[in-house]
């Protein structure tokens, strides 16, 4: 009898060691017991060895097929190639399979000393990070000699997906309050959208209290009083930074499990590095991967098995058994295999110095309910039937001219068009029609054209703005162009700093 199949990628560096140890523990706990509905791990090729063969994806076609068939990938840490064009396999996998929500839990563990544990402060909170969009789209261009751009993309459907996951998870775990971390005070449209969709989603979960906090204040609060948070949901880049900060609060990345959740495919992984300096020595700490594996087991409804393993891990940690990277120095450290052996010896036991995990009566059979496989690429949408009206365009130029000289040229260009020059900015700051002589400019300008007075929004289409851009391009290098529109009467573009 074959169990539910799980794609297994051991990883690079210390990956194979900690994965083998984790699988040994799982086998002892009955995770692979086919008779009781356990899982079958199917090895797949991913990581450095695949990159070395010239495959820039870092995973073989067979690995992709097996992962897509199973719906679950359990992976160890993987190396990102330096140079050569290959991108992070971790980011590639999340984006390719639309694992849109990254879920990480941070809590005080017995035997893992931190500033907070020494102060008697017990931490137990989680971070939900949007996993697909933001600057992780990796959309970058060199625009001029001195300017490079990275596009930050935040969508309403992408925000809705991660917020809904956060609230559903909070509901399931009994979390009473969810915070949204953001920078909407500065990025009023992108982070503003993220925060707006958080508030809209919250209306469907009235029993859960909500709050929002600017991300820089959040970082300070997490260091000063982290116990005030239960769950925080953030955009991708901010979530990446904050979740690593949170790992530091509980002992480091070696104690921070990670799940990447998608509608069809989910990925469970250790988020620490490959530690090549200790690879092959048998001394690596497998705790993060074990905890990530427990998240996977619970995702598969193997709650009883997961709780049994977790209690054994907690009992082991409180006994003082530790690898070389943590624990009291007056007790000798153990290697990876001995650490796991100690956990195996305690299967069925519960910790006594910290609360034990409740072990349910059921939950040894793996179950995974997946939506039907898409027949094609899906387009997800939030807002429909919005009335849009063209009101102008922003044209971005590569030019060494001063703002005043550039304004004279642009006013001549738009003289016989429906548009008037209303703004020139540099690095986001207005430098025309008003500005400061102390504002330094680089060779990349935003030039804004809006409809002349008396011309109604929507009375002209996009083609007139393209024609204007063509006229500008006769004299200047046009780096990019953005259409200015009203969406149900609301401006779909931001003001410049100082405007």
The strand pairing partners of 397, in sequence order, are 445, 478
Q: In 257-395, where does DSSP find H-type helix?
A: 287-299, 303-318, 336-345
Structure tokens at 79: 């190396």
Assigned token pair, 19: 């994965």
Helix (H) or strand (E) holding 195: helix 190-202
**Rounded-to-integer distance, Cα 84 and Cα 9, Å:** 22
**What is the spatial distance between Cα 69 and Cα 63, in angstroms, rounded to a whole number?**
10
Specify the residue for token string 């029993």: 207
The two most distant CA atoms of the chain are separated, in Å, by: 84
Residue 448, beta-bridge partner list:
394, 423
Asked whether 81 and 15 are in contact (CB, 8 A), the reply is no
pLDDT in tens, 326-337: 998 889 999 999
- Residues 291 and 270: their CA atoms lie apart, in Å, by 9
pLDDT value of residue 82: 67
Which residues have CB under 8 Å from 53's CB, separation 6+? none
Question: Looking at the domain that runs over 101-240, which CATH code has it been given?
Answer: 3.40.718.10
* pLDDT of 301: 96
| Regions of the chain short of the pLDDT cut 70 | 1-2, 82-86
**CA–CA dist 234, 38 (Å, integer):** 34
For residue 90, the model assigns a pLDDT of 85
Q: Yes or no: say if 58 and 92 are a contact pair by the CB < 8 Å rule.
A: yes
Tokens of 426: 């540099």
pLDDT in tens, 133-153: 999 888 999 999 999 999 999
Q: Which residues of 250-262 are buried (b: 16+ CB within 10 A; e: fewer)?
A: bbbbbbbbbbbbb
**What pLDDT is stored for residue 1 in this prediction?**
43
Q: Which CATH number fits domain 1-100+262-383: 3.40.718.10, 3.40.50.1980, 3.50.50.60, 3.30.460.80?
A: 3.40.718.10
The SS3 of residue 310 is helix
Q: Where are the domains of the chain?
A: 1-100+262-383, 101-240, 388-491
Alpha-helix runs per DSSP H in 203-286: 215-224, 236-249
Tokens of 465: 């703005």
The answer to whether the 101-240 and 388-491 domains have the same CATH topology is no
Is the domain covering 388-491 a CATH 3.40.640.10 domain? Answer: no
- DSSP letter, residue 156: H
With beta carbons less than 8 A apart as the criterion, state whether 258 and 152 touch. Answer: no
């Amino acid at each position: 009898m074959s169990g539910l199949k799980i794609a297994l990628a051991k990883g690079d560096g210390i990956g194979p060691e900690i994965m083998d140890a984790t699988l040994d523990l799982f086998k002892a706990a009955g995770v692979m017991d086919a008779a009781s509905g356990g899982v079958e791990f199917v090895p797949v090729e991913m990581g450095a060895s695949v990159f070395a063969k010239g495959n820039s994806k870092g995973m073989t076609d067979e690995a992709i097929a097996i992962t897509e068939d199973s719906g679950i990938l359990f992976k160890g840490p993987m190396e990102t190639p330096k140079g050569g064009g290959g991108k992070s396999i971790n980011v590639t996998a999340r984006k390719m399979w639309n694992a849109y929500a990254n879920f990480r839990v941070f809590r005080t563990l017995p035997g893992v000393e931190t500033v907070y544990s020494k102060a008697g402060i017990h931490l137990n909170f989680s971070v939900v990070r949007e996993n697909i969009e933001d600057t992780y789209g990796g959309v970058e261009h060199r625009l001029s000699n001195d300017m490079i751009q990275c596009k930050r993309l935040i969508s309403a459907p992408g925000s809705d997906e991660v917020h809904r996951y956060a609230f559903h998870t909070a509901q399931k775990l009994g979390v009473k309050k969810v915070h949204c971390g953001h920078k909407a005070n500065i990025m009023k449209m992108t982070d503003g959208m993220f925060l707006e969709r958080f508030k809209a989603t919250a209306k469907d979960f009235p029993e859960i209290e909500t709050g929002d906090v600017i991300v820089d204040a959040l970082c300070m609060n997490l260091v000063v009083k982290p116990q005030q948070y239960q769950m925080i949901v953030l955009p991708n880049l901010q979530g990446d930074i904050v979740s690593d900060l949170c790992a530091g609060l509980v002992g480091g990345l070696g104690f921070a499990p990670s799940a990447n959740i998608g509608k069809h495919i989910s990925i469970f992984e250790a988020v620490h590095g490959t530690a090549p300096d200790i690879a092959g020595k048998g001394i690596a700490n497998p705790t993060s991967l074990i905890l990530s594996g427990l998240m996977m087991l619970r995702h598969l409804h193997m709650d009883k098995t997961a709780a049994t393993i977790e209690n054994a891990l907690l009992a082991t940690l409180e006994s003082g058994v530790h690898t070389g990277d943590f624990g009291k120095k007056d007790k000798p450290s153990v290697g990876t295999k001995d650490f796991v052996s100690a956990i195996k010896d305690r299967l069925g036991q519960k910790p006594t110095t910290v609360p034990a995990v409740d072990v349910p009566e059921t939950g040894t059979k793996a179950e995974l309910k997946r939506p039907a496989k898409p027949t094609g690429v899906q387009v997800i949408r939030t807002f429909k039937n919005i009335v849009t009206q063209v009101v102008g365009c922003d044209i971005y130029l590569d030019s060494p001219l001063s703002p005043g000289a550039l304004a004279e040229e642009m006013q001549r260009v738009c003289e016989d068009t429906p548009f008037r020059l209303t703004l020139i900015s540099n690095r986001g700051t207005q430098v025309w029609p008003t500005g400061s002589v102390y504002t330094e400019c680089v060779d990349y300008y935003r030039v804004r054209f809006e409809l002349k007075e008396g011309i109604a929004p929507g009375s002209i289409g996009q083609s007139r703005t393209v024609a204007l851009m063509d006229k500008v391009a006769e004299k200047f290098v046009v780096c990019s162009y953005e259409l200015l529109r009203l969406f149900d009467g609301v401006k779909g573009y931001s003001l410049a700093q100082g405007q």
